[in-house]
Amino acid sequence: MPKKILLDVDPGVVDAMALCWAFFDPMVEIAGITSVGGNVPAPVAAKNLQAIVEFIDPPRLPRMGFGTVPDEGLPSDYRHVHGIDGLGGTPLPVAELRSRHPAEKVICDIIRDDPENVIVIAMGPLTNIARALILDPELPRMIRHLYITGGTLNARGNVTPCAEFNIYADPAAAKTVLLAPFTKTLIPLEVTNPVMFSYSDLEQLPGTDFKLGSLFRSMLIPAFQAYRQCYGIEGIHIHDLVTYAVAVHPELAETKELAVDVEIEGQLTRGMTVIDARPIPEWTNGVDVVTKINEQEILREILLGLNDAANQME
Tell me which of 101, 237, 239, 249 is the catalytic residue.
239
Task: Determine contact, residues 107/65, Cβ cutoff 8 Å.
Answer: yes
Q: Which of 274, 46, 45, 7 is nearest to 129 (CA)?
A: 7
Q: How far apart are CA 229 and CA 304, in angstroms?
A: 29
Closest residue by Cα to residue 120 from 65, 168, 70:
65
- Residue 232's contacts (CB-CB under 8 Å, 6 or more residues apart) are none
Radius of gyration of the chain (CA): 18
Cis peptide leading into residue 12 (ω within 30°): yes
**Do 154 and 116 touch, CB atoms closer than 8 A?**
no
- Beta strand 118-122 with 184-187 is unpaired
Distance between CA 114 and CA 314 in Å, rounded? Answer: 32
70: DSSP letter: -
- Within the chain, residue ranges assigned H as helices are 13-23, 42-56, 79-82, 103-113, 127-135, 165-169, 171-179, 189-192, 199-202, 211-231, 239-248, 295-313
Does 237 participate in catalysis according to the annotation?
no
Residue partners of 54: CB distance under 8 A and separation at least 6: 92, 93, 94, 95
Q: Are 246 and 293 within 8 A, CB to CB?
A: yes
Active site residues: 239
